[in-house]
Structure formats: C-alpha cells, structure tokens
Structure 1
C-alpha cells in the first residue's frame, strides 16, 4: 500500500534536498577556488619579487653612473695627484712636524682614492687622465705654456688652473724652491686653497652624481678636507 505524503512534507523534503545540493556545490567550488587562490598568491609574490629584483638591479644610485660621475673622477684624480705632489715636498722641505704629519695624512688618504676613481673610469670605458711630475698633465683646459719647449714669450701669463683650487706650474715650481718656515706657510696657504677647490667639486658630485660610491666618496672628501682646512688655518694662526 503506497504511503501518501502530505504536500507540506513533500515541500520540506524538496527544500532539504535543494539545500544539500547547494552546500555540496559550494564546497566543490571552494575547493577548486582554493587551489586557484593558493597558486595566485604564489604567482603574485613571485611577480612582485621579480619586479623588486628588476627594479633593484639597474638602480642608478648604486650601479649606474652619469656624465657628472665621469667628470668628477676625471677632475678629482689630477686634483688629488697634485695634492700628493705637494705633500711629497714636505718631508725634505718643511720645518714643522705638524706640516710633515699633515702631508703624510694627505698622501695616505688620497693615493687610495686615486686608485679607486681610476678603477671606476676604466670600468666605465672612460679616459683616465695622465699626469706629469707636477700632477697637472692630462687636465682639460690646462695651460702648459710654461713647460720646456713652449713659447716662453707667454711666461708673464701664468698657467691657469683647469679646476677649482689647482696650482699653476709656476706655483708648484715656487713651492719646490722653498724650505723651512717659508715653505710651511706657503704649503698651508696653497693646500687650503687646493682643498677648498676639492670641496666645490665634491659638493657638485653630491648634488648631481648618480653613482652611489662616487657620491659617498664626495661626501667623505668634503668631510675630511673641511676638517683639514680648519686644522691648517689653526696652524697658520699659531705662527
């Protein structure tokens, strides 16, 4: 004998079946969607990591350089060379031990910096300035009219420095002929002017350079040579 269900009971059963079906479908979709979502963050993280790496690799601040960086190195190398050439005179000409110690300090600091900047220029495929004994050769715009074999009719016109603070050939020759207290005073005055020129160049590099190590070196030069200028002025004031 067939059991007859009431319309109300049939309605409840239909709703229950629909609910079970909907719940099952939702679980299936969630499982499928979970796989996609679990892969998606992985891809997103990978993509973000790749973008970060790509952005860091060509970072101009550390690995790239610009024209200012090249100019800074090409000018600071001969500038440093001349400071070292001046410092080389002190051991045999200076009377003051303070001046001799300062000269040794300048050489100790600037020789490695010359080597560092030379390495940059070679790596960049840029010209490395040459130098003669006075440290003035190979500098753009330098007047070498006072050199042997040149037109001595221009002797009354001193060689003009190509960069801030550079000494002329006549300045260097004059310093070589001095000794004792006279040398000490001339050395300090000339080196103050030389350092002040380096400060100008270093500040320009800090403002316009792109290569991180070069701007860091410029900052170091500005700090150390500012301190040396203060020390040299103090020495001159004590005389």
Structure 2
C-alpha cells in the first residue's frame, strides 16, 4: 500500500516561514541604543519646534519648526514600535526634564528653560543656534547607527535622519546668517 502525501502551497509557505528567523530578531545592541536614544532626542526637537511655533518672529524659522515636528513625530512612533517588537523598554515621553544630555546635541533643562524665557529676535537667534547643535548631535548618532547597526530598517532610518537633518543644518546656518544679532 502506497501513501500519498500532497504538498500544498500553504504547507510549503508554512514550512518555509517556520524555518526562518523573524526579521524582528535581526537586530543588535547598537540598534537598541539608537532607538532608545533617538526617541528622547526627537522629543526634545519636537518640544523646541513647539516653542518656535509660539515664540519665533521669523516666518521661515516657524515654517522650518513645523517641518521638523512633522518629520520627527512619525519617526518617534516608528522607533517606539521597534523597541516594543524587540521586547525592549520604550523611553517615557518627557517634557522639560531631558536628563539625557549625555547624548550629542541634547539641551540641558537650563538651556530649555532659558530658551523658553527668550522672546523676539533673540529667541529666533538662540533657537536657531541650539537647533543646529541639536541636529548635529542627531547626525552623529545616525552615523553611528549606520556603521554599527544591524536592523536594516533602523540603518535606513538613520540614513534618512542624517540626510534630512544635514539639509536642515544648512538651512539653519543660512537662516542664522540673516537673523539680526540683537
């Protein structure tokens, strides 16, 4: 008596999927560090962008702040999703108390407080200088992820952050040159 085994496409697919490691497992400590640090870094940039929405007098600066917020909010969600998928803790949202100034470009609580108390052309100038420094820090973090990360989507996001924020640094430097000094 012969037994016949029918191999269906679904059986092949299930067998193939079961033999592979899920993509979410293909990450390393550098990816976790990148996501864990970039979340509060982006949160601070979004907070700074919100300050510019209220305090800036320069229209181009306000528009750039809106663009920064629009770009970084979805990236925060993506980074948090990765950490959750990797079963790693997601940094809690922080407003005001950014204790992570060991990260490149992060402002201290005093920096943020001083910026929040500044008005007019002085605010525009100070905000632009601080955002240049902040973006330079993000670019440095993104370069590290690109050279040491393993998770393809994280490395790709790091490349996007490096490209986008380098372009914004150029815009900010051009804007700073045009702003009044007092």
* Range of TM-score over shorter length: 0.7 to 0.9
For the Cα contact (< 8 Å) 1:89–1:176, is it kept in 2?
Answer: yes
Q: Which runs of 5+ in 2 are unaligned?
A: 1-11
> Counterpart in 1 of 2:68?
106
> Counterpart in 2 of 1:209?
149
Q: Which runs of 5+ in 1 are unaligned?
A: 1-48, 143-160
> Counterpart in 1 of 2:45?
83
- After superposition, the C-alpha distances for 1:86-145 in whole angstroms (9 at most, x for unaligned) are 0011122000001100100000000000000001101111011113212615xxxx4xxx
> Counterpart in 2 of 1:193?
133
**RCO higher in 1 or 2 (8 Å CA, sep ≥ 6)?**
2
- Note the 1:166-185 alignment, pairs <5 A: 166-185=106-125
For the Cα contact (< 8 Å) 2:43–2:94, is it kept in 1?
Answer: no
Equivalent of 2:161 in 213, 217, 221:
221
Q: 1:195 to 1:135 in 2, by over 3 A?
A: farther
TM-score under structure 2 length normalisation: 0.85
Q: What is the distance in 1 between the residues matched to 2:81 and 2:93? A: 16
CA RMSD of aligned residues (A): 2.0
Is the counterpart of residue 58 in structure 1 residue 18 in structure 2? no
- After superposition, the C-alpha distances for 1:54-108 in whole angstroms (9 at most, x for unaligned) are 8x94387x86111110000000000000000000111220000011001000000
Equivalenced residues, count: 165
SS at match of 2:85: helix
Pair member with larger Rg: 1
Q: 1:135 to 1:69 in 2, by over 3 A?
A: farther
- After superposition, the C-alpha distances for 1:176-233 in whole angstroms (9 at most, x for unaligned) are 0011111100011000000000011000000010001100000000000000000000
> Counterpart in 2 of 1:35?
none
Q: What is the distance in 1 between the residues matched to 2:133 and 2:139? A: 10
TM-score under structure 1 length normalisation: 0.65
> Counterpart in 1 of 2:89?
127
Runs of 4+ in 1 over 6 A off after TM superposition: none
